[in-house]
């Protein structure tokens, strides 16, 4: 355990509370206005619980109640908790896309922590963008912080088969469109697959990101896999509250332990989980806030030769509850010890190596079905393929473990859609000129073009091909794809079309070539032809935007840079607000 470095007078909150002046009198007075006694806040660390609960955030429906458990732990350890509601980004409900608001949550988190008398923070999130949003903000604020994941929802079954959020919605939808599923059954499925509060129970973006954050050292060991509705989840919340108080006294702030090796531990976990492609963007953004300059090529390098060990949808065939029974993330990381930096520090004050040793010394669950050993992986291939070529000079990604092997090396004729509206209007037309070898291309789905880079990248298979039994095609876009989805989808093409990337120049009928093993994505056009098309290309007019969206469009970086704002990326020593 690190030494206690701070005394009461060193606490940040004491700047607000301790001085014998009129301003501090007002601070103490206003806390007493809420019924607090002087003794409750004058001699204790003040802990902010940044909670992304809301009534319209189904994955976080239990988080208001869980905040009470966090408070219990804080009080037990001698801290004083204050709950701070923050923007709640329920993935499915928020339009046009939660991605556009990830940076707003990061700003809100940073400014909440900076502007208030907070000594340490508990970050409560889990639904996709809440995890990176909270952590990016907390890294910039650089106060001791601990992440409390919402936990995955419970498993469900349909007709005797396990069904998981997102992944099976897509499977059932394709069967419904193909005419293989009657409407009453389709409607009955609205009440299935999302059985209880908690994050998606597949290895979508939520569980990928919370697991990466755990592997980086920001949660208590094993926290991310605990099902939301398990009483162990409530106990983890209380334990996290208890621990943050110790972190404040130890001054265990992110800048003391968030280093490149911790980021690389997160990448190793990401690959072995068969995690979401979205994590490539978020991991780069999180690393950037911690002053770790991370590129797609480095993710590919660190992730090379790490097979998928988690047998969880969409790369595998099980759900997060099974992953938990198999030992959760500590069991997975135990399989990967030779690839991890075991001396990285975690929020519990111990190294990753210490934490894994403690896990292994306990009653380690054995379930090779959900977490495979290295000699029996789910797939040998990487969970993330990084591509470059004349169609993606700054990079693009694909998830080979959730793609069709026969399409990973493919050459086909492009069918290009300029917008999501155009695609929706045409994709199911009976006379659409398309076959199973066609490459569907969507542009205008990037950070600037959409704007906000929505999850449009899993373009629908045309109805006439579904009816003919086709279930996958090569699809390419500058958009993202839900982490719960699957298919041979090249995503995050950068630079995006709206920023003048080569994706803007291709036309229906051009031949596109993908070679995942070689890391290539090219359009078979000469340099001269591409140059001539660029001559006549004009940037699409920017849609009229106001407020935050205008700020976003003007300052968002491309996918290979993490889509952070250009004025927020990187680390600067936090500047304390003056107290007047």
Q: Does 226 bind ligand FES (CB under 6 A)?
A: no
Are the C-beta atoms of residues 483 and 430 closer than 8 Å to each other? Answer: no
Are the C-beta atoms of residues 128 and 98 closer than 8 Å to each other? Answer: yes
Q: Does 127 bind ligand FES (CB under 6 A)?
A: yes
Angle (CA) 452 440 308, round 5°: 75
The least CB distance from residue 223 to ligand FES, in Å, is 16
**Span near ligand FES by CB under 6 A; candidates 199-207, 217-225, 278-286, 464-472:** 199-207
- Please classify residue 531 by burial: count the beta carbons closer than 10 Å to its beta carbon, then call 0-12 exposed, 13-18 middle and 19+ buried: exposed
The least CB distance from residue 147 to ligand FES, in Å, is 15
Task: Give the residue, chosen from 11, 49, 50, 59, that forms a contact with ligand FES under the rule CB under 6 A.
Answer: 59
The least CB distance from residue 199 to ligand FES, in Å, is 4
Residue with tokens 């399409």: 407
Task: Give the residue, chosen from 128, 174, 214, 335, that forms a contact with ligand FES under the rule CB under 6 A.
Answer: 128
Q: Which DSSP state fits 460? A: P
Task: Give the residue, chosen from 88, 155, 199, 278, that forms a contact with ligand FES under the rule CB under 6 A.
Answer: 199
Phi–psi pair at 157, nearest 5 degrees: -135, 150
- Alpha carbon distance 239, 396 (integer Å): 40
Q: Does 105 bind ligand FES (CB under 6 A)?
A: no
- Alpha carbon distance 410, 570 (integer Å): 38
Binders in 442-461 for ligand FES, by CB under 6 A: none
Q: Does 200 bind ligand FES (CB under 6 A)?
A: yes
**59 or 296, CB closer to ligand FES?**
59
Closest to 282 (Cα-Cα) out of 211, 332, 224 = 211
Task: Give the residue, chosen from 45, 81, 204, 460, that forms a contact with ligand FES under the rule CB under 6 A.
Answer: 204
**Span near ligand FES by CB under 6 A; candidates 113-121, 196-204, 389-397, 426-434:** 196-204
- Alpha carbon distance 192, 187 (integer Å): 10
- Alpha carbon distance 29, 35 (integer Å): 10
First to last CA, the chain: 37
The least CB distance from residue 313 to ligand FES, in Å, is 12
**257 or 456, CB closer to ligand FES?**
456
Per-residue mark of binding to ligand FES, 144-183 (x: CB under 6 A):
---------------------x------------------
Are the C-beta atoms of residues 489 and 481 closer than 8 Å to each other? Answer: yes
Write the CB contacts of 180 (distance below 8 Å, at least 6 apart in sequence): none
The least CB distance from residue 371 to ligand FES, in Å, is 21
The least CB distance from residue 486 to ligand FES, in Å, is 15
**206 or 493, CB closer to ligand FES?**
206
Phi-psi region at 300: left, alpha or beta (left = phi > 0; alpha = psi -120 to 50): alpha
Q: Which DSSP state fits 577? A: P
Binders in 410-449 for ligand FES, by CB under 6 A: none
Q: Does 206 bind ligand FES (CB under 6 A)?
A: yes
Sheet with strand 145-149: strands edge to edge: 80-85, 46-51, 120-125, 145-149
Structure token digits, residue 7 = 């005394």
Q: Does 273 bind ligand FES (CB under 6 A)?
A: no
Closest to 199 (Cα-Cα) out of 258, 266, 149, 239 = 149
**Span near ligand FES by CB under 6 A; candidates 16-24, 200-208, 328-336, 530-538:** 200-208
Per-residue mark of binding to ligand FES, 8-47 (x: CB under 6 A):
----------------------------------------
- Alpha carbon distance 309, 303 (integer Å): 13
The least CB distance from residue 127 to ligand FES, in Å, is 3
Alpha carbon 545 to chain centroid distance? 26
What 231-235 contacts at long range (C-beta under 8 Å, 24+ apart), as own/partner pairs, is 233/66, 233/151, 234/66, 234/69, 235/69
Write the CB contacts of 175 (distance below 8 Å, at least 6 apart in sequence): 181
Helices (H), 448-503: 463-467
**14 or 277, CB closer to ligand FES?**
277
**59 or 465, CB closer to ligand FES?**
59
The least CB distance from residue 325 to ligand FES, in Å, is 20
The site for ligand FES, by CB under 6 A, has a size of: 10
Q: Does 382 bind ligand FES (CB under 6 A)?
A: no
Alpha carbon 314 to chain centroid distance? 16
The least CB distance from residue 545 to ligand FES, in Å, is 26
R_g (Cα) of the chain, nearest Å: 24
Are the C-beta atoms of residues 45 and 10 closer than 8 Å to each other? Answer: no
**200 or 271, CB closer to ligand FES?**
200
The least CB distance from residue 490 to ligand FES, in Å, is 23
**206 or 398, CB closer to ligand FES?**
206
Task: Give the residue, chosen from 31, 49, 74, 92, that forms a contact with ligand FES under the rule CB under 6 A.
Answer: 92
**Span near ligand FES by CB under 6 A; candidates 4-12, 197-205, 367-375, 489-497:** 197-205
The least CB distance from residue 266 to ligand FES, in Å, is 18
**Span near ligand FES by CB under 6 A; candidates 26-34, 198-206, 255-263, 523-531:** 198-206
**200 or 237, CB closer to ligand FES?**
200
**123 or 336, CB closer to ligand FES?**
123
Task: Give the residue, chosen from 52, 73, 91, 456, that forms a contact with ligand FES under the rule CB under 6 A.
Answer: 91
- Alpha carbon distance 271, 212 (integer Å): 10
**165 or 416, CB closer to ligand FES?**
165
Write the CB contacts of 349 (distance below 8 Å, at least 6 apart in sequence): 1, 2, 246, 247, 250, 252
The least CB distance from residue 169 to ligand FES, in Å, is 11
Which residues are near ligand FES by CB under 6 A?
59, 91-92, 127-128, 165, 199-200, 204, 206
């Amino acid at each position: 355990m690190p030494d206690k470095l701070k005394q009461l007078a060193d606490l940040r909150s004491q700047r607000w509370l301790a001085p014998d002046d009129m301003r501090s009198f007002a601070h103490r007075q206003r806390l007493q206005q809420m019924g607090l006694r002087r003794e409750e806040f004058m001699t204790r660390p003040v802990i902010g619980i940044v909670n992304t609960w809301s009534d319209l955030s189904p994955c976080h429906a239990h988080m208001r109640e869980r905040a009470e458990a966090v408070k219990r732990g804080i009080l037990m350890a001698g801290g004083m908790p204050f709950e701070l509601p923050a923007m709640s980004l329920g993935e499915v409900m928020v339009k046009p896309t939660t991605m556009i608001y990830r940076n707003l949550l990061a700003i809100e988190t940073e400014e909440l922590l900076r502007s208030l008398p907070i000594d340490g923070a508990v970050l409560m999130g889990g639904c996709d963008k809440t995890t990176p949003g909270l952590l990016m903000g907390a890294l910039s604020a650089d106060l001791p912080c601990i992440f409390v994941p919402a936990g995955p929802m419970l498993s469900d079954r349909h007709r005797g088969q396990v069904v998981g959020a997102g992944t099976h919605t897509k499977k059932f939808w394709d069967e419904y469109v193909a005419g293989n599923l009657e409407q009453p059954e389709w409607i009955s499925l609205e009440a299935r697959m999302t059985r209880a509060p908690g994050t998606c129970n597949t290895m979508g973006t939520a569980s990928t990101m919370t697991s990466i954050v755990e592997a980086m050292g920001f949660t208590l060991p094993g926290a991310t896999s605990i099902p939301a509705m398990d009483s162990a989840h409530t106990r983890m919340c209380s334990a996290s509250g208890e621990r943050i108080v110790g972190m404040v006294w130890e001054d265990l702030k992110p800048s003391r332990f968030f280093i490149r090796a911790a980021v690389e531990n997160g990448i190793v976990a990401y690959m072995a989980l068969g995690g979401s492609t979205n994590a490539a963007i978020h991991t780069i953004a999180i690393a950037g806030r911690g002053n770790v300059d991370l590129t797609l090529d480095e993710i590919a390098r660190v992730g090379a030769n790490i097979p998928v060990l988690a047998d969880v949808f969409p790369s595998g065939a099980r759900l997060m509850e099974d992953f938990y029974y198999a030992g959760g993330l500590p069991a997975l990381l135990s399989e990967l010890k030779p690839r991890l930096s075991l001396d990285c520090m975690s929020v519990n004050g111990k190294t990753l190596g210490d934490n894994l040793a403690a896990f292994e010394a306990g009653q380690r669950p054995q379930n090779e079905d959900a977490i495979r050993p290295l000699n029996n992986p789910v797939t040998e291939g990487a969970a993330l393929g990084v591509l470059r070529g004349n169609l993606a000079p700054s990079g693009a990604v694909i998830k080979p473990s959730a793609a069709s092997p026969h399409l990973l090396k493919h050459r086909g004729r492009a069918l290009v859609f300029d917008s999501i509206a155009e695609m929706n209007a045409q994709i199911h037309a009976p006379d659409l000129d398309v076959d199973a070898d066609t490459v569907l291309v969507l542009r205008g789905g990037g950070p600037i073009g959409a704007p906000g880079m929505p999850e449009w990248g899993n373009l629908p298979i045309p109805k006439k091909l579904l009816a003919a039994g086709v279930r996958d095609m090569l699809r390419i876009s500058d958009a993202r794809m839900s982490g719960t989805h699957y298919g041979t989808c090249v995503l995050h093409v950068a630079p995006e079309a709206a920023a003048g990337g080569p994706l803007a120049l291709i036309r229906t009928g051009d031949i596109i070539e993908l070679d995942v093993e070689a890391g290539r994505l090219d359009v078979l056009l000469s340099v001269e032809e591409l140059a001539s098309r660029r001559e006549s290309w004009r940037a699409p007019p920017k849609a009229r935007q106001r407020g935050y969206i205008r700020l976003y469009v003007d300052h968002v970086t491309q996918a290979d840079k993490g889509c952070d704002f250009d004025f927020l990326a990187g680390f600067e020593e936090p500047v304390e607000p003056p107290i007047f």
